[in-house]
Structure 1
């Protein structure tokens, strides 16, 4: 009997049902798109926020514990501890290795510029040795490349990036090594693209002059604008520090901090076994830093909190905004359904009065209206999921240049919400109309 009444209701009230389905379709489409964006936006935004730069710094443990003291330039590197370059592949071998976007070792030292395009000069210059786009094989990816091109996308280079892709760069002819000169240094020393520079290291045991050709002018907004940035191997060779680095900057994809990560940050020993496992197996910046400290011997690893904290705050605020918009869409849809169902039920008041006069009780009448609403919710929800899938692709392409992944868990969630808002919108008018007396309804009162 219920099925027959449902079929008759749809047959004679198709226009009203279409309006209800269309209202739910609009809400479901928006909700499914926002849910898909919320699920995938964390990783996408984390990748976009890598433009802030590296968020983890690896230093020698002994060196990090020492206070900073002023030294003569000739003895600036004397007695320093270094990290072993051979251990750099271990950075990608941790539990969260796939979250490591890239890394760049650093070796900073004072040099004296003694020749500029063949003309003798005398000027102190800070030289930074690092990777630009350097091939460093790892077990899972023998062709893996890393360097400043990856972890410092905010670097702007006028001209060309220095090429350090050839591991035999230290054996190249004079001036074959390319370098970037910071914008401020270029202005102060009158250095231009294509200039040839010859530098003498301030070191007790230098092994070679540093001879470079300027390939580009660097704008970074940081200390690099006052430095000459050179491939790491060339600086190591000149300073007789083969295979040694002072620090490593690491860029990693992380999740925002919460109470557990803050507790671990304050006192790791305070975590019980379950909390420790959950913390260790979550991509917090603190847990990744801890794993890196285990992987690189003699190192202390510190998150760069200015970067890591800002990433977490931005992602949290975006997800909160999406949640608010989703809730607003659900409320608006529920109000629209309530309005439509109120109009529908008022128009069918005589039908309801006749059903009650023939013996139908309140539960049966409510069941009829709730069944109609649930069916409208399912149809509107399914159509809304299809629309949301397309809309999320458009949003991803507009914001990130590639479609967002549509998680299939969104479909049952949206169907449940669609049916729920249809039932909620139906409850109030159905509850009111079924309490009327049949004689009042049949006489139009």
Structure 2
């Protein structure tokens, strides 16, 4: 009998049922798309925010004892270094797959001129930066691993050509990049040959370099000559040594636990420590890097790390608000449709009550109608949400978002919940009235 009554209800009230399905379809489509985006937005945004640059800095442990201003003024002979052989250890931690890349750094002041003669009147003091551009490095279990500034600093803009330092095979003339401001002041152009001279105590060396590109970063690199690390080490007489390493890692936003660990790791109990250590917080990754790299201190670059967490948290909050608004709007729409449907069918309901139908039987009829609408609208909405999520991913990130299948049962349950909530008030109200009230229009 219930099935027959449902069939007759859909047969004679098809337009209103279709309107309810469309309402649930729109809500389910929007919610499924937003859930899919919210699940995958963390990784996608973290990768996009890598354009801010590295978020972790590795330095010699001795640097922690002195302010940055004093460290910058110490001559190379008085500085401590990180052994270049320690670099593969960066990819030998628990969160190794979250390490996007890294770039060692070596800076110093040298004399530059367009002639090979040393100490000429035309030579000037410039700062050089030795680093990896796109360098191949031996990493266990990862063949052909490349890392460098091209990976961790996508905001670097090069007019001309990047330096190819894959195998450090340069010949007699070293290819370099020159910062935009430095090139502008000295009227240097792509293709120019410069001679770099360095002398400290009894050590002196000279390198011929060729400007291969003009570099624009908006930072101190605009006033530097950026060259391959091995060439800078040879020029400065510090083979196999680096001053610091910038690391770009995918991290999750900070919360109360990570802030507690940031203040004092020793304050964590055993359970908190395990949970913090096994979560990709920037502080936990930094802690693991400090364990892996000998004689180093690892510090998060909080300006970058905090920005990533704040942006991702605000986007996820916005998605949650929009999802909640869609659910409320859909529930109100279903409630309005069911109320008008029940009012139009009041005589039918009154006759059912007069013939002995129980209130729960009348409510069951309306709940079953709502359930069918929810299932149809929810399934169609999931399909539409899958397409919308792919479109959003392709448009915003250049790659489709992965649609987690857990979204489908969640959206179906939500569609059913919306339909039942929208049906609850009008169905209970009419079911509690006496037959005479319904039949005489006193509801």
Do both share a fold (TM > 0.5)?
yes
Counterpart-to-counterpart distance in 1, 2:111 and 2:72: 14
SS at 1:28 equivalent: helix
Structure 1 residues 339-348 or 203-212, which shifts more? 203-212
Q: Which residue of 1 aligns with 2:231?
A: 234
Alpha-carbon displacement from aligned partner over 1:295-348 (angstroms, at most 9, x marks no partner): 100000000000000010000000000000001111110111011111111111
Alpha-carbon displacement from aligned partner over 1:68-96 (angstroms, at most 9, x marks no partner): 566998x7112211001111111111111
Counterpart-to-counterpart distance in 1, 2:70 and 2:24: 69
Counterpart-to-counterpart distance in 2, 1:146 and 1:204: 34
Q: Which residue of 2 aligns with 1:164?
A: 165
SS at 2:188 equivalent: coil
After TM superposition, list the pairs within 5 Å mapping 1:24-423 onto structure 2: 24-68=24-68, 76-116=75-115, 121-169=122-170, 172-173=171-172, 175=173, 177-206=174-203, 208-423=205-420
Task: Give 1:160 deviation, angstroms.
Answer: 1.1
SS at 2:205 equivalent: coil
The answer to whether the 8 A contact 2:253-2:309 is kept is yes
Counterpart-to-counterpart distance in 1, 2:286 and 2:428: 58
SS at 2:432 equivalent: coil
Structure 1 residues 224-233 or 154-163, which shifts more? 154-163
The answer to whether the 8 A contact 1:260-1:279 is kept is yes
| Structure 2 residues not aligned, in runs of 5+ | none
TM-score normalised per structure 2: 0.96
Q: CA RMSD in A?
A: 1.7
Alpha-carbon displacement from aligned partner over 1:250-283 (angstroms, at most 9, x marks no partner): 0000000000000001111111111111101100
Task: Give 1:436 deviation, angstroms.
Answer: 2.4
SS at 1:113 equivalent: strand
User: 1:282–1:133: structure 2 CA closer, same or farther, 3 Å change rule?
Assistant: same
SS at 2:209 equivalent: strand
Counterpart-to-counterpart distance in 1, 2:98 and 2:70: 38
Task: Give 1:411 deviation, angstroms.
Answer: 0.6
Alpha-carbon displacement from aligned partner over 1:220-256 (angstroms, at most 9, x marks no partner): 1111111100000001011121110000000000000
The answer to whether the 8 A contact 1:155-1:220 is kept is yes
Alpha-carbon displacement from aligned partner over 1:31-86 (angstroms, at most 9, x marks no partner): 0000000000110000000000000000000133234566998x711221100111
The answer to whether the 8 A contact 2:197-2:204 is kept is no
The answer to whether the 8 A contact 2:199-2:205 is kept is no
Task: Give 1:435 deviation, angstroms.
Answer: 2.4
Counterpart-to-counterpart distance in 1, 2:35 and 2:42: 12
SS at 2:200 equivalent: coil
Task: Give 1:209 deviation, angstroms.
Answer: 0.9
Instruction: Give the total of aligned pairs.
Output: 440
User: 1:51–1:96: structure 2 CA closer, same or farther, 3 Å change rule?
Assistant: same
Structure 1 residues 151-160 or 35-44, which shifts more? 151-160
Q: Which residue of 2 aligns with 1:443?
A: 440
